[in-house]
């Protein structure tokens, strides 16, 4: 399987898809999947730009709206996570993941899906210690404070990902795992980005949450963005253990290293996005303690108890495998779009709780 990995999209879908087409033509290859590591900027209309945490002078519609409206269709299946420059109102509507546009899938604030037999996980947002232990209390319309805190990673979402036991092939995060520079050529990095030196030496460059997940999940590949530069590393897990190939990429600009083609061994296609049984089970298990206020949630469930429940739910779903293989591509233009697609599939009552949390 040939996968194109892109750093920060910043709404330039047209440019990235044009680059992929050029690579396919010049190399005579077919790209099976595009992965974007955040700052995707799924801006549908001018109203969405009010939820974009950038100075007003930098707010632009860019090109996502064409794919959302159907004027254009993504030429390659696309999976993305969120960063710190997003239309947060739209991504909140897709908290559990879902189709942001035809052929463009958002992994959610945390999520795991399958593409063919490749298992892909991701965590949206960036780490901020002040907000990490809070609940998801922000609601649109955001104010000057919440428009910046809404994209900060929460412990609840990381805790859910920490319950994953089955192997992950690829993991996406926007900011880098804390300490990842120890496993690559950090001196060369500092030569290009001198202002990273103090953070690297102080051990503060990167996300503690991402580092925790890297240690637990040990994926074969980990892709990131955020710092607008290319950086590669090899993480050896324990002595003689598995290895994670880490790669961070730049933002979409001429002459920058924003796109990389990766060959990953997989079953033959055709490929499609599918729900992941284990992740659905974890989502259902932890939904009852989903923290929707500023107060820290009480979700410290014993991992063994969680695993027993997850195994039981998985066994039931495996008997209904067609429901998981034939992925429900639920996508509708709605204003505001209440597209809790995964919740609809699971039949989780919290869809009503989330609906009522909106300030209509």
356 pLDDT exceeds 90?
Answer: no
The reply to whether 315 falls in a domain is: no
The three-class DSSP label of residue 342 is helix
Question: Can you give the CATH number for the domain in which 112 is found?
Answer: 3.60.21
Please report whether residue 15 resides in a domain: yes
Residue at 36 is within a domain: yes
Does residue 349 belong to any structural domain of this protein? no
- The boundaries of the domain holding residue 181 are 2-275
Answer yes or no: is pLDDT of 359 > 50: no
pLDDT bin (cut points 50, 70, 90) of residue 43 is very high
Encode pLDDT of 149-184 as tens digits: 999 999 999 999 999 999 999 999 999 999 999 999
Under 8 Å CB-to-CB from 301, ≥6 apart: which residues? Answer: 285, 286, 289
Position 357 in a domain: no
pLDDT(341) > 90: no
Work out whether strand 221-224 and strand 98-101 pair parallel, antiparallel, or are unpaired. Answer: unpaired
Three-state DSSP at 208 gives: helix
User: For the segment 9-28, what is each residue's pLDDT rounded down to a tens digit?
Assistant: 999 999 999 999 999 999 99
In a domain? residue 206: yes
Is residue 166 situated within a structural domain? yes
* Number of domains comprising the chain: 1
Residue 230 confidence (pLDDT) above 80: yes
Question: Could you tell me which residue, 41 or 288, shows the higher pLDDT?
Answer: 41
| Alpha carbons 338 and 354: distance in angstroms, whole number | 9
- Those residues whose C-beta lies under 8 Å from the C-beta of residue 127, and which sit 6 or more positions away, are 152, 153, 175, 206, 207, 208, 209, 210
Higher model confidence: residue 133 or residue 341?
A: 133
Residue 347 lies in a domain: no
């Amino acid at each position: 399987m040939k996968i194109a990995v892109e750093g920060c999209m910043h709404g330039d879908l047209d440019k990235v898809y044009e680059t992929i087409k050029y690579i396919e033509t010049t190399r005579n290859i077919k790209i099976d999947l595009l992965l974007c590591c955040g700052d995707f900027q799924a801006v549908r209309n001018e109203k969405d730009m009010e939820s974009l945490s950038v100075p007003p002078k930098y707010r632009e519609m860019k090109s996502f709206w064409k794919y959302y409206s159907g004027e254009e269709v993504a030429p390659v299946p696309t999976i993305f996570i969120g960063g710190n420059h997003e239309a947060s109102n739209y991504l909140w509507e897709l908290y559990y993941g879902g189709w942001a546009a035809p052929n463009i899938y958002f992994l959610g604030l945390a999520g795991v899906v399958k593409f063919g037999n490749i298992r892909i996980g991701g965590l949206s947002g960036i780490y901020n210690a002040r907000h990490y232990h809070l609940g998801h209390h922000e609601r649109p319309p955001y104010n000057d404070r919440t428009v910046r805190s809404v994209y900060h990673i929460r412990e609840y979402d990381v805790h859910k990902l920490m319950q994953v036991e089955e192997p992950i092939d690829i993991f996406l995060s926007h900011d880098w795992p804390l300490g990842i520079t120890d496993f690559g050529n950090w001196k060369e990095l500092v030569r290009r980005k001198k202002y990273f030196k103090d953070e690297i030496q102080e051990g503060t460059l990167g996300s503690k949450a991402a580092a925790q997940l890297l240690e637990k999940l040990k994926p074969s590949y980990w892709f990131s963005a955020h710092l607008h530069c290319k950086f590669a590393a090899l993480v050896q897990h324990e002595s003689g253990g598995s290895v994670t190939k880490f790669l961070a990429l730049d933002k979409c600009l001429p002459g920058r290293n924003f796109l990389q083609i990766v060959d990953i061994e997989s079953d033959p296609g055709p490929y499609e996005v599918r729900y992941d049984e284990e992740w659905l089970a974890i989502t259902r298990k932890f939904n009852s303690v989903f923290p929707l206020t500023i107060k820290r949630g009480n979700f410290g469930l014993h991992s063994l108890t969680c695993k027993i429940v997850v195994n039981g739910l998985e066994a039931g779903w495996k008997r209904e495998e067609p429901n998981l293989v034939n992925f429900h591509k639920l996508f509708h233009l709605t204003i505001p779009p209440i597209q809790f697609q995964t919740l609809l599939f699971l039949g989780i009552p919290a869809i009503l709780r989330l609906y009522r949390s909106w300030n209509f």
